[in-house]
Amino acid sequence: MDLKVAVTNIAARWNYKVDEISPGVFRMDVAIKMKDGTFRYQFVYVWVIAGRYFGKDVVYMNSRCGEFSQNLNLYKLIKEGGYGTFSSVTVTTDKRADGSPCETVIVQAVQPIEFTNETILNEVIYDVAFNADAIESLYFGGDKN
């Protein structure tokens, strides 16, 4: 599977904006339709990590929810992770807009390339976006990422 072709086709199919922000790293602005017919948008980052799955390459996807703090209700946040079909909730080392270090809550998914095609990738990207958007809304005050 050629990731650039797959990501470009998915973006065209759903009219998502997609940018290659560095070689082989894509940022998709995924549209999520709300019950009232409006849309919210969530950035999902997609790239290949060589050798991550028992020495095999994977497509890695993530979306930021918000900055981790001890004030978060961790029990409820972990429960939210149960809604992901392909995705999981975790904390990663990150940087704030000013470049200072922080820890960020993200939704991520890792798909071995050998078991992935464009149809599966489409579903996984949406799952990451949908769950990150919900967590962002519930725990971090709204649509910021």
Residue 116 is predicted with a pLDDT of 94
Residue 77 is predicted with a pLDDT of 87
Considering the domain boundaries, does residue 145 fall inside one? Answer: no
100 within 8 A of 45, measured Cβ to Cβ: no
Amino acid at 33: K
Residue 142 is predicted with a pLDDT of 64
Considering the domain boundaries, does residue 144 fall inside one? Answer: no
Considering the domain boundaries, does residue 83 fall inside one? Answer: yes
pLDDT in 10s for each residue of the chain, 145 residues = 899 999 999 999 999 999 999 999 999 999 998 889 899 999 999 999 999 989 999 999 999 999 999 899 888 888 888 888 899 999 999 999 899 999 999 999 999 999 999 999 999 999 999 999 999 988 887 665 5
Angle at 101 between CA 107 and CA 61, to 5 degrees: 25
66 within 8 A of 140, measured Cβ to Cβ: yes
Considering the domain boundaries, does residue 117 fall inside one? Answer: yes
Reference 44, options 24, 74, 19, 13; nearest CA is 19
Considering the domain boundaries, does residue 85 fall inside one? Answer: yes
Considering the domain boundaries, does residue 66 fall inside one? Answer: yes
Considering the domain boundaries, does residue 113 fall inside one? Answer: yes
What's the total number of domains in the chain? 1
The CATH number linked to 19 is 3.30.1460.10
Supply the range of the domain harboring residue 28: 3-139
Considering the domain boundaries, does residue 42 fall inside one? Answer: yes
